[in-house]
Chain A
Amino acid sequence: MSSLPILSLLVFAPWLGALVLASLGNKLGAKSSRVVGLLSSGSTLGLALVILANFAPAGAGYQFIERHSWISALRVDYHLGLDGLSLLLVLLTGLVSPLCLLASWKIQRAPHHFAALFLLLQGAALGVFLALDFFHWFLFWELSLVPAFFLIKIWGGEGATRAAYQFVIYTLAGGACLLLAFAAIAVATGTFNFTELATLAASGQLAAKLALLGGLWPKVIFIGVFLGLAVKAPLFPFHTWLPATYAEAPSGVSMFLTGIMSKMGVYGFLRILWPLFPAELHAAAPCLLGLALGGVVFGAFAALNQTDLKRMVAYSSINHVSYCLLALFAVAGASNAPAATAALIGALLQMFNHGLSAAALFACVGMLEARSGGRRGIHDFGGVRTLAPLFAGFCGVAMFSSLGLPGLNGFVGEFMIFSGVFGLAPWAAGVACLGLFATALFLLTFWQRVFHGPTGAAVAAFRDLDRVEILTLLPLVVLMVLLGVLPQLLVGLINPLVTTWVSQLP
């Protein structure tokens, strides 16, 4: 087992699939290219399960490490490794990605190109979660934009072109800041390696070396890294690219963007910003806490005002991802070990849980669109539950998971975040309750308008879920219930890691 480069396999299997699809192209035919795409995408889940079986949860360090010298002149290594956090996100990617392709099953326009681009995107995301050297981490990070751009632009809705450009330019700008900051870090320290940089930071040498650059450089570098991650996550108010992008992207891609890609930003905060810049983060924490709260409250209230269902779910994504950041910034800003443990466990759970629930909600909106000829206004439907009770049931579970109903997965993460944040910054927990309230309000309004009430003429021909759609939603719904009742399944993977993190806090 140890000889097999399983992490490389994990990253490049989707790309291999993409290569096959791109080179065989039209020869495959629509149906078989869909199947090839699904299988390549599903390889991640298979390999992730193999890793899960061989993963030692008690160890907080990286496992399955692969390290080869790559560009020796710049001391760049090809370096992959996996800990509980990476594993969590790899599992999530493995679960959600094939479902995104299933949700895109009915795409008629160049399905082989769609699948190829999607697999490129998936591989890039996996690379981000596994790379331990900035150099190729950043390659993966930026490479994810290219397929996303084309997926949105070509298969998206009416405003897709504009949204795709906005998305790419905005995140590229953030990426540029990140790149420049890391160039400076590399100059100062001579390494791109995350673990080495973290060790340097822990011993205070990183700060000392950056200070040697003189003047404002340390602050500028921190801000550069911060901006790159903040745009990606996104952190309020760097989120304005998100609603349009999520709304215009085809549903399968929206599922991936919100389920996986938004986690790349949060992952960056946890993997890079926090270990490398603990002092700066601590100093900025009160301000950042405010921004995260802004995302929680503004995101939820803005969602309340949306009539486009996809935009509504997009804003709810901003709200949910902001909870993760809220927890992280609260931990960075105050010291209280039990509360920090709770907050971090909550943040990690929330990443996973939001991946499931937001993906499911986007899939549901996509199914509404597919049935109504592309309409997704909140007032366009009504009484859908009468005609499609199974659909209503699945969508209901996703909705209640999203609003944090106990018994479903969303609650555990949010509760732990609130519990931790209350111990670290009680006022922030109090204010964040506004977000909980508004979330319940807009989700139930959505539900009431779309599913309840008399059956309108517009939905008279609605049918219930077909087999592919059931296959798309069922795994998500089952996991929502399962993880809501047995959160230990996930917590067992991350608790040792979180415990180690907290023990290293000042």
Chain B
Amino acid sequence: MHLPVSLVWLIPALPLLAAGIAALAPRSCRTLAAGAAIAAMIAAFVISCLALHTALADPGAKLVANFEWFDVGAGAMRLGWLLDPLTAFMCVMVTFVASLIFIFSTGYMKADANFKQFFCFLSLFAAAMLGILVANSLLLLFICWELVGLASYLLIGFWFHKPSAAAAAKKAFITTRIGDLGLLLGLLWLADSTGSLLFYDGGNGVLEVAALGSLASQVTVGGLAVSTAIGLLIFCGAVGKSGQFPLHVWLPDAMEGPTPVSALIHAATMVAAGVFLIARVYPLMSADLALPLVPLHALTVVAFIGAITALLGATIAVAQNDIKRVLAFSTVSQLGYMMLALGVGSWVAAIFHLLTHAFFKALLFLGAGSVIHAAHHEQDIRRLGGLRGRMRITFATFAIGMMALSGVPFLFSGFWSKEAILHAAHGWQVSHLPFGAALVAVVLTAFYMTRLVAETFFGTARTEETEHAHENSAVMTVPLILLAVGAVALGFLGTPAFPWLQARLLGEPEVHGHPLFESAGLMMLSIVLVAVGLGAGWAIYGRRPRVALDAVDPLAKAAPGVIAALGNRLGFDELYAATLGRLVTAGATVADFFDRYVWGGAVTMLARLGEFAGVVNRENDESAINGGFNVVSESFRDSGRAYSRAQSGEPQSYLRFIATGFVVLMLLVILGGGR
């Protein structure tokens, strides 16, 4: 059974409908809201599977259905839907992961008074993300992109009575909006240069040969090709949404939202959008690669930003003590890997890692949620501990997620997808620095994940809450198990020996694998690095687990300054507050000052001058104005008096002044120039 592309809109529309139902339902209709959300998401998953089936029938084809939104002059603003393997794989992943997160949420949010609203926002969030995936127009994508921003704002600030949550929500919206303005400018430029915003439109789309050729052949400021400039502006949007350096600061704060929201943001719905965007417009991003003489290729910037982010995120994660914060920085780091893959030319590796990461990161966040739920909202790993025996399913699945994220070889999906990225980075001709950074990040990733697991699950329970923690109900554990299965199995879709996923994404009908030993050297290197990270982590945190609550972290003992700086997230927040924040405040103060004193002052001065002239003219006025006008203004004045007691009636005299002036100037014009 196939899904016609003209029905692809059903995938985002169903969750949107569920959001609408939940929004309009009374507050007490908890089951209705959650039921609608879950049912819609499962239905969307089924439709996505059909869409995948359709897309794989001819993986090279771009199925589109365009339509007119509103008239613009003789033409129209057109939007459209798109179905290709990239869309289909992403839809299947998002709907599957989101379904499990929704089910998990029914347990996690059970006691929350705003349960209904939560499912409304969750559905909106998923709908907006799915809209990004099926859009065949950069404008439609941008619309959904901003709606993702809205939903994340609502969800991060879900516990809005907490000032920290309210602040985090605002920070996320504003930070991503900075990037979005770049995306908007890129979009405007693209529309202006090509006259269209449709990706594929029978040869007239912006990602098709004709448009790309013209974009790459024009030169703009600094000798850049227009396609490079537009690509970099679009990339700004991805930097914001996908938490890339230097706009990564919102992502760790976003954990102020309920944990299922973090799972959704970090795995399926928000940060994935940036990577997807770059993959979607990849023909545009890489259009300048054929030009040898341009000063900069757009993808070079992508690669370096990705590498910096991968290393930065992994480094900071080492010194975080909040279970969700560690995971948040690991997301920053993993997204850096994906950007790196995009930058070095292997967008399929980026999407492969995006898909596997979605599973194991959702798993890890939900696992963390399970721990937090059981330990009465304790999320400081120093205060947890010893949960291995108390929460067996959570522990087992969390460990699988941890090994997938660390890249433990062969069995876990993260190994294969990360391997693909390292392979691509190794082969990049421009520079080897990103490859080096990625290798260092491999060690750090294995290290901090080992630390996280050791502190949380090993040793002894260090607080009373942790002491009393026990495994959660099936609505929370079954999603964990299903995600764990995915975190293992998904890797086998894209091993170098049989890269089925990559071939399908690229639209190739045949799968060309090659024996594993061809790249054995690189693989061995990364296995060794993972082993080093795991070993170091275990040696420091696993062998002698923390006993006392306030025991100093062994690393902090060794290098207190470094760990303190990392724990403080290298001071990015403070830096931005001191620079950008101050700049904005100064701008506001200056604008307000000018308004009150400069423009306002000038006007007051003019008014005083006018008043003076009015006083001088008053005597003349009395005789010059005819009686009729006086009568009218008298009556005005009377009514004014009746209302306002002791006012002098100034505007009336101004009226008179103006009338006099009018007559005088009329005469002047008639006598002077208008012969």
Using Cβ atoms and an 8 Å threshold, which residues of chain B touch A170? 603, 607
Nearest-CB residue, chain B, relative to A149: B651
CB closest residue in chain A, given B675: A212
Contacts of B29 in A (CB 8 A): none
B643 touches A154 (CB 8 A): yes
State the majority secondary structure of interface residues on A: helix
A176 beta carbon closer than 8 Å to chain B? yes
Nearest residue (CB) in A for B639 is A150
Q: Which of B160, B591, B640, B669 lies in contact with A302, CB distance below 8 A? A: B591
User: How far is A223 from B321 in the complex, measured between Cα atoms in Å?
Assistant: 66
Q: How far is the CA of A341 from the CA of B76 in the complex (A)?
A: 11
User: Is B536 engaged at the interface, CB distance under 8 Å to the other chain?
Assistant: no
CA distance A412 to B140 in the complex (A): 12
Q: Roughly how many angstroms separate A486 CA and B646 CA in the complex, as a whole number?
A: 53
Q: Does A183 contact B (CB under 8 A)?
A: yes
- A405: Cβ under 8 A from any B Cβ: yes
Answer whether residue A159 sits at the interface, using C-beta atoms and an 8 A cutoff: no
B3 at the interface (CB under 8 A from A): no
B183-191, B432-440, B570-578: which one contacts chain A?
B183-191
List the A residue with the shortest CB-CB distance to B27: A389
Interfacial chain B residues near A418, Cβ < 8 Å: 184, 188
- Residues A394-437 near B (CB distance < 8 A): 400, 405-407, 411-412, 415-416, 418-419, 422-423, 426, 429-430, 433, 436-437
Q: How far is A421 from B522 in the complex, measured between Cα atoms in Å?
A: 51
In the complex where A170-B603, A176-B661, A406-B143 touch, is A301 in contact with B587 (Cβ < 8 A)?
A: yes
Report the minimum CB–CB distance from A299 to chain B (whole Å).
Answer: 8
Find chain B residues with CB under 8 A from A237 CB: 599, 602
Q: Are B670 and A187 in contact (CB under 8 A)?
A: yes
Q: Which of B51-59, B163-171, B623-631 is the contact stretch?
A: B163-171
A-B contact pairs, 23 of them (CB 8 A): A154-B643, A165-B651, A168-B654, A172-B654, A172-B655, A176-B662, A184-B665, A187-B674, A297-B591, A299-B591, A301-B590, A302-B591, A302-B594, A338-B73, A405-B146, A433-B184, A436-B177, A444-B170, A452-B169, A488-B70, A488-B71, A491-B70, A495-B73
- Do the beta carbons of B674 and A305 come within 8 Å of each other? no
B185 & A407 in contact (Cβ 8 Å cutoff) = no
Q: Which residues of A contact B587 (CB under 8 A)?
A: 301, 304, 438
Q: Inside 8 A of A415's CB, which chain B residues have their CB?
A: 139
A304 adjacent to B584 (CB under 8 Å): yes
What sequence of 0s and 1s flags, for each residue 660-675 of chain B, a beta carbon within 8 Å of any chain A beta carbon? Answer: 0110011001100110
Given the complex of chains A and B, what is the CA–CA distance between A169 and B643 in angstroms?
Answer: 19
Does the CB pair A339–B161 fall under 8 Å? no
Q: Are A498 and B73 in contact (CB under 8 A)?
A: yes
Stretch in A99-107, A213-221, A270-278, A323-331 touching the partner? A213-221
Shortest CB–CB separation between residue A305 and chain B, in angstroms?
4
CB-defined contacts of B139 to chain A, threshold 8 Å: 415
Task: Report the nearest B residue to A300, measured CB to CB.
Answer: B591
Interface-central residue, A215, A298, A386, by most chain B CB under 10 Å: A298
**A455–B161 CB distance below 8 A:** yes
Tell me whether B188 and A422 are in contact (CB under 8 A). Answer: yes
Chain A residue total in the interface (Cβ 8 A): 85
Q: How far is the CA of A301 from the CA of B161 in the complex (A)?
A: 27
Asked if residues B673 and A437 are in contact (CB atoms below 8 Å), the reply is: no
* A444–B173 CB distance below 8 A: yes
Verify A217–B673 contact, CB threshold 8 A: yes
Q: How far is the CB of A344 from chain B (nearest CB, A)?
A: 9
Check B588 for interface membership: any CB of A closer than 8 A. Answer: yes
A146 within 8 A of B: yes
In the complex, which residues of chain B have a beta carbon less than 8 angstroms from the beta carbon of A400? 150
Which residues of chain B are near A338, meaning CB under 8 Å?
72-73, 75, 195
**Across-interface contacts of A337 in B (CB, < 8 A):** 73
Q: Which 3 A-B pairs have the closest CB atoms?
A: A452-B166, A406-B143, A301-B591
Taking CB atoms, residues of chain A closer than 8 Å to B647 are: 161
Complex Cα spacing A297 to B640, Å = 38
B174 touches A444 (CB 8 A): yes
Q: B181 at interface (Cβ–Cβ under 8 A)?
A: yes
> Cβ of B592: which chain A residues have Cβ within 8 Å of it?
301-302, 305-306
Inter-subunit contact A488/B69 (CB<8 Å): yes
A188 an interface residue at 8 Å Cβ cutoff? yes
**CA gap between A343 and B482 in the complex, in Å:** 51
Query: Are A169 and B174 in contact, with the CB atoms below 8 A?
Result: no
* 0/1 interface trace, chain A 242-283, chain B, CB 8 Å (1 if under): 010000000000000000000000000000000000000000
Distance A175 CA – B658 CA, assembled complex (angstroms): 9
Check A345/B72 contact, CB under 8 A, given A172-B654, A176-B661, A183-B665.
Answer: yes
Q: Which residues of A contact B150 (CB under 8 A)?
A: 400, 405, 407
A27–B256 Cα distance when bound, in Å, is 59
B157 within 8 A of partner (CB): yes
Distance in angstroms from A192 CB to nearest chain B CB is 13
Contact with A along B583-600 (1 / 0, CB 8 A): 011011111101100011
Tell whether B519 is near chain A: CB-to-CB under 8 Å: no
Contact of A172 among B146, B160, B640, B651 (CB under 8 A): B651
B173 to A243, Cβ gap below 8 A? no
Enumerate chain B residues within 8 angstroms of A188, measured Cβ to Cβ.
674
Minimum distance in angstroms from B264 CB to a CB of chain A: 19
Verify if A383 is at the interface (C-beta below 8 Å from B): yes
Are B588 and A487 in contact (CB-based, < 8 A)?
Answer: no
Task: Please determine whether A419 and B191 come into contact, CB atoms closer than 8 angstroms.
Answer: yes
What string of 1s and 0s marks CB contacts (under 8 Å) between A476-501 and chain B?
00000000000110011001001100
B644 contacts the other chain (CB 8 A)? yes
Is there contact, CB below 8 Å, between B161 and A453? yes
The answer to whether A150 touches B643, judged by C-beta atoms less than 8 angstroms apart, is yes
Given A338-B195, A444-B170, A187 and B188 touching (CB < 8 A)?
no
CB distance from A270 to the nearest CB of B (A): 17
Most chain B CB within 10 A, of A243, A299, A415, is at A415
Q: Is the CB–CB distance between B170 and A445 below 8 Å?
A: yes
